[in-house]
Structures are given as structure tokens and as C-alpha cells.
Amino acid sequence: MTKARNRWPRPRDGENPTGAPDGQSPHESSAGIKPTGLDECLRACAVHSGKLVAGLDRRRTELAEKLRQLLAAQAMAQEPALVTAASGATALIRRAAKGAGGPADALSGELLDALLAVGNKALECGYDDELRLALLISDTVLTRRAKSRAGWRLRARTLEAIGDEAATIEAYERYLALTDDDGFGVAPKIAGMRAGGQRQDELLRLLERECPEAREYSAGPATDVWAEGLALHARGEWSQGEARLVGALLAMERSGSPVQDLQEAVGQYLELRIGINGGEAAGLREVITLYAEQRRNRMRGPVADPAFGGVEWIALGEFRNQIAGKSICLIANSQRVGRSSLGSEIDAYDLVVRFNSYKIDAAATGSRTDIHATIHKHGFNWERPVTTRLVFGGVSGDWKHSLRNRLVPGAQKYLGDESLRWPLRNVGKVGSDVWSSIPTSGFNMLWLLDFLDVSPTLDLIGFDFYESGAYRLQEAMRMPITSVHEYTSEKAWVMERAQSVSDMRISLR
């Protein structure tokens, strides 16, 4: 544990992350949708855009660009001729701030996408101002489109960042009710929050029983009571100080303090208690166990089958043996494949490789999937049975966390281990100085197969590097084709090694 500091509970004077009025708890302000007009939201976006100045924070720089794109889209919808005549961020902000009625006041698909892009980037920033903006955008989207999956997911993620767990669960449940593809792992997240909340309640009830004097202080202002407890502890009066510290924790629970604040306060209380009792106090083991369980469940959710259904982990050499001598085709998630009639040809290969959020239409795409190669950041198609699943990820800890949360027991016979986690970087030792962009799942997989060089046939089907658009599960269609990948470089790499090229097929062997 970190050294205890006189920080928690945090006072909530002035503005707070939910934008709740003074005296109103975050839970009260964010549990339900606040009806918000598009013009009000655009004015807030324009004002926020004016606050962002050039700086070293990459996330806020990217948010500024998303805001510029949103305001430009709105201005174009309202006054296309004026936009042509008067360009510049100042003009866009001025027009958006005025607000307008008519057709431009409707939330078109283009404006919806631009608003969600701003909301997601604001959430990524993580600062209080940006969290308020993301929550306002979710209010606006859901006021106009109550069944927007992306709107509910943005709202849930924002509420989770704010620390309003009850409202977060409610929003995630609304999202799940609108989708058949839980590619973002929402169901286990909800289960983890509920289990963590239950352990937290058990922990606080245990502290309340152990220190009944704490009830006397649980009705007071948590910040003041906490400070009194720390002062008594510093004077060596632990029993009186503990009563106030526990009372402050109970007050935080009563007032609906953010989960993160309550967790940190409990952690600091435990550190003080261990320091006093040397870890020998009666009941301390149970308290620490409950504290650890509530944190662990919230981080990764309960794991029903820690053995993942008896999956067999395979390393680089074992994967090589698995594919040796086999004809292999890699199927792109492109519209070119979706409009084709190559299903039977695809199924004729010895091994069929698909990626991430692939979509099956037997006549066009074929019906078989032998190897599923996917990035660890989402869980699309992880429940679909395959022989081998390779999960790619650049950061080992994040990769392991995703496997614990997303892997479906029994859905794969073989699972790539850490030696197959990030092929281009870890196997090929190709650094960012040589290949600066983040490799796609498709490129990691193709590079690996080319490197192993044990397949007599290695064909890419429908790879046009998204020139024809994406063809994938519906829930994944709103995911942007991310700019962190360099498709031009990947295409050049492929074409340099191509033995033959047709409209639908690129053969590397």
C-alpha cells in the first residue's frame, strides 16, 4: 500500500465530475438521462473548444481536433455557403454558439458520429471538465435516440470513470439489452461490479460491527470527520481516531461517494490499522480479504472457469507444427468479400484464418474458421468455436487482463501463449524505428505466417485495405477504422512479396 496521506475523503466544493449542483450527490445527478437539446450541447462543445489551447497533452490535442470536426459538420449543415466563404475555428465556434433551428437541429447520422467521437475522446482525456462534456453528450444523444447502443455505452463508461457504480450498471444493462454481440465484455464487467459492491458492503458492515462507536460519527461531514481521525491517530489516540475514520467511511457510503474515492480511503485506513496492530489484530485478515476481493472483482470480474475449459496453450514452435504443410487463406473483413461468392473456395483450404469482428455469410465468406486472430481490446467472436485462437496485444499486462476477462471456456482448443502475443515486435524484433505504426491483427498474422514459411499456399482473400469499406459484425460497424495503423505501408509490404494478384486474391506462395 502507498503511504497514507491526508487526502481522503475529497471535499466536493464547487464543481464536481458529474456537474451536480452543490449539495447534490453525483448519484442523484447522473442516475437518469437529463433531457438536453442539440443546440445546448453544441454550444457547450464550442465553448470547450475555445478553452483548449496548444499544449503537451496529446489527448486534449486530439479532442480539439474532434471538436473542430464536429463544429465544422454542424456549420456545414446549417450554412454551407457561409462555411465556404468564411473558414477558421473562430467562425465555426461563433456559428455553433449561436444555435439554430430547422433541419440542422436534427441529429443526423453524420452529427451523431461526430458527437460520439468527441464524447469518446473527452472520456479518454479523463479530466473533470472532459468527463462533464462526455456526460452531456451522452444526455444529448440519448435524448434524441433512446436506443442508441453507442450512446448508452458512452454513458456507462463515463459514469464508470466518475465512480457512480449503480448508474453505470444501469447504463451498461441498457446497452446489453440493445445488442446481441457483447464484443466489449460488458456482461462480465457488470458481474464484477455487482460482486465488488457486495464485498464492499460486507467489508463496511464488518468494520461497523468491529467499531460500533463509528456510528456516532457517520452522520457528519466525511471530510471533517476523516481529518479529526487522522489528527487523533497522529497524537497516538488510535481508538478514538479509528472510530472517526470508520465513521467517515460510513458517511462516504451514505452520501454515495465515487467508488474510487471510497476504495482509496479504505486502503489508507487499512494501512494505518496495520501500522498500529502489526497485522495481528483480530479480524484484520478478513477485512483485508474482503478489500482485496472487491478490488479484484471490479478490475476483472469473476472467472467461472480459471482453466478456460481445459484449453491447451501453444507456443511459437507448436503453432508452426500446427500449420506446417497446410494451405492457408486469410479472409479480410472487407465489403469486397461480403459481396463475393467465394464461400465454397474459401472452405476448400486446409486452414481458414479470420480476424477480430469477422462476419459469416457462408455463400460469400465461407462457413469455417480454423484460426481466429484478434486484438485483445475487444471480445468480438470470442464465443465462436475455433481450433486455435491467437490474441494479439502490445502490453503484456493488458493482454493478460483481457484473456482473464474475455476468453470463453470451451470456445477454442488451442490458445497462443505469450510467445505469440505480438509477433512483429516480439518474434521479428521489428522496432518502431523500422515500423513506426501499430501493426493490425491482419498484418501481425500475415507477418507470422510469412516468417514461419511452412505453408505451400498462403492466400489473402478480399484484402483491399478497407478501400471497399468494412464488412463485420453489426455491433462493430460503428468502430472507426483507426488511424494508428498504417494501411499503406502494410499494403506495400504485401505487394512486394506477392507471387500473383487478382481482384479477389493475393498469393504469397
CA distance 154 to 171: 9
Nine cell digits for residue 219: 452522520
Mean pLDDT confidence for 411-415: 95
Q: Smallest Cα–Cα separation from 331: which of 314, 311, 348?
A: 348
CA distances (Å), origin 241, targets 11, 122, 160, 326, 436: 19, 40, 32, 70, 55
Mean pLDDT of the chain: 85
Nine cell digits for residue 408: 470463453
Q: Which residue has the higher pLDDT, 53 or 246?
A: 246
Q: Smallest Cα–Cα separation from 400: which of 380, 416, 381?
A: 416
Mean pLDDT confidence for 30-40: 83
pLDDT at res. 56: 73
For the cut 80, the answer to whether the pLDDT of residue 277 exceeds it is no
CA distance 219 to 240: 16
Give 326-374 pLDDT, tens digit per residue.
999 999 999 999 999 999 999 999 999 999 999 999 999 999 999 999 9
For the cut 60, the answer to whether the pLDDT of residue 482 exceeds it is no
Q: What angle do CA 459, 461, 466 make, to 5 degrees?
A: 130
The proportion of the chain whose per-residue pLDDT surpasses 90, expressed as a percent, equals: 65
- Residues, the chain, total? 509
Give 298-338 pLDDT, tens digit per residue.
987 776 676 677 889 999 999 999 999 999 999 999 999 99
Q: Smallest Cα–Cα separation from 302: which of 185, 154, 189, 448?
A: 189
Mean pLDDT confidence for 111-131: 94
For the cut 70, the answer to whether the pLDDT of residue 396 exceeds it is yes
Pairing of strands 327-331, 457-461: parallel
Instruction: Give the pLDDT band (50/70/90) at residue 178.
Output: very high
For the cut 90, the answer to whether the pLDDT of residue 453 exceeds it is yes
Instruction: Give the pLDDT band (50/70/90) at residue 417.
Output: very high
For the cut 50, the answer to whether the pLDDT of residue 7 exceeds it is no
For the cut 70, the answer to whether the pLDDT of residue 181 exceeds it is yes
Give 146-173 pLDDT, tens digit per residue.
999 999 999 999 999 999 999 999 999 9
For the cut 80, the answer to whether the pLDDT of residue 218 exceeds it is yes
The proportion of the chain whose per-residue pLDDT surpasses 70, expressed as a percent, equals: 84
pLDDT at res. 66: 93
> Which of 43-57, 110-124, 268-282, 470-484 has the highest mean predicted lDDT (pLDDT)?
110-124
pLDDT at res. 26: 39
Is the backbone peptide bond immediately before 439 cis, with ω within 30 degrees of 0? no
pLDDT at res. 449: 97
Q: Smallest Cα–Cα separation from 112: which of 120, 102, 123?
A: 120
Q: Which residue has the higher pLDDT, 255 or 1?
A: 255
Nine cell digits for residue 461: 482473400
User: What is the DSSP annotation of 337-349?
Assistant: HHT---HHHHHTS
